[in-house]
Amino acid sequence: MDCSICFDQLRKPLGIPECCKHVFCFDCLRKWTESHDTCPIDRMQFQMIRKKNAVDGPVIEKLRVLTPNAVTDRWFVDRRHSILTAYDFFVI
């Protein structure tokens, strides 16, 4: 079976998006999530990768991914918090 990201034979551990059952090399899928928040095949959005050693095997680990939008949103929240806490008062 081949990985649809790198087009090589699947390498262990395997990565499976929580939204579907498509299987990829775990490292390929993790790298994919640095710029995408959807499955490379069906484009369904996901926030968790199931890590396995075999397709039918047990889940070794669940990895929450920070999607590009989540990273941007987090930056705005952190920035707003730092501005609000930098001063004793605000004039509105």
Structural domain count of the chain: 1
Q: Domain range spanning residue 56?
A: 14-67
What per-residue confidence (pLDDT) applies to 77? 60
Domain assignment present for 37: yes
Hey, what are 8's tokens?
A: 């090589």
Read off the pLDDT of residues 25-81 as tens digits, 9 standing for 90 and up. 999 999 999 888 899 999 999 999 999 999 999 999 999 987 655 555 555 566 666
What per-residue confidence (pLDDT) applies to 78? 64
Average pLDDT over every residue of 10-35? 95
Domain assignment present for 80: no
Domain assignment present for 50: yes
- For 70, the enclosing helix (H) or strand (E) is helix 68-86
pTM of the full structure: 0.71
The one-letter code for the residue type at 78 is D
